[in-house]
Structure 1
């Protein structure tokens, strides 16, 4: 089976990010680097960031794009991913019950729960697009592959 152009691009970004993050095992530095590369290399990514669970709240940790909501009240796409433990893809955020609009230009969204090495969810990767229907299962697969670099320690120099 031939790899799609989108998955091939994610594979190239995976290799690029793997090189960038070799100098540290710090997951926050790694996530910030992933966000920057993804945000600037994927044309449909309008906002790319990480929210983390702190004392039961989802607080923005780092991001690329316009100013974000600092704290997400319960509800919305990020909380749906945190509560379900699964990726949530929304083609039209206006049709998502309880959507939290941090920026009116956001039209579609993908959120992937972040897990520690023991499998506990500690936050989420949140990507918004200013285009409807920008994300699909190929984005999920590509982003999950890149996120797998968070805890790889064999390449640290």
Structure 2
């Protein structure tokens, strides 16, 4: 995947757009369209100490996730990207879509550096995500944070 091009496309979509939900919606659509073998790409946003469903592409999803629960809640609580080869081996995995077999979750930060949400991407393939994806998606998230 050419993450440099993806990041440039994200910048073009977000430029002069001040409404965060618009930028998150376009970012999820961009990822879902550009990356192969996905069944979900979207965001969960911090609200009153938990993650709430934000803009996404894919099947319906869990609406609330407690910090420390599942891959998303773990990423948010630990403020660390979670790259999961096989979600069925992840303790406490939340199966919003039984077709998901691998997942990557990247924390998003506000201007003060606090976790404001997560970027969550699922695949029906075991082992779909690599270190290249981690680096590329962390760069994508950094750019997105600038526009939120």
TM score, norm. by length of structure 1: 0.87
How many aligned positions are there?
146
Task: Identify the match of residue 31 of structure 1 among 7, 20, 24.
Answer: 24
Are 2:10 and 1:17 aligned? yes
- Please state how far the C-alpha of 1:147 moved relative to its aligned partner: 1.8
- Give the alignment of 1:15-94 within 5 angstroms: 15-74=8-67, 75-94=69-88
Task: Identify the match of residue 122 of structure 1 among 97, 102, 116.
Answer: 116
Distance, in Å, in 2 between the alignment partners of 1:151 and 1:56 is 19
CA RMSD of aligned residues (A): 1.4
- Please state how far the C-alpha of 1:128 moved relative to its aligned partner: 0.4
Q: Which runs of 5+ in 2 are unaligned?
A: none
Moved more, 20-29 or 60-69: 20-29
Aligned to 1:112: 106
- Please state how far the C-alpha of 1:151 moved relative to its aligned partner: 4.5
Q: Specify the structure having the higher radius of gyration (Cα).
A: 1
For the structure 1 residues 21 and 32, does the alpha-carbon distance in structure 2 shift closer, same or farther, using more than 3 Å as the test?
Answer: same
Distance, in Å, in 1 between the alignment partners of 2:44 and 2:13 is 22
Distance, in Å, in 1 between the alignment partners of 2:48 and 2:66 is 13
TM score, norm. by length of structure 2: 0.92
Moved over 6 A (4+): none
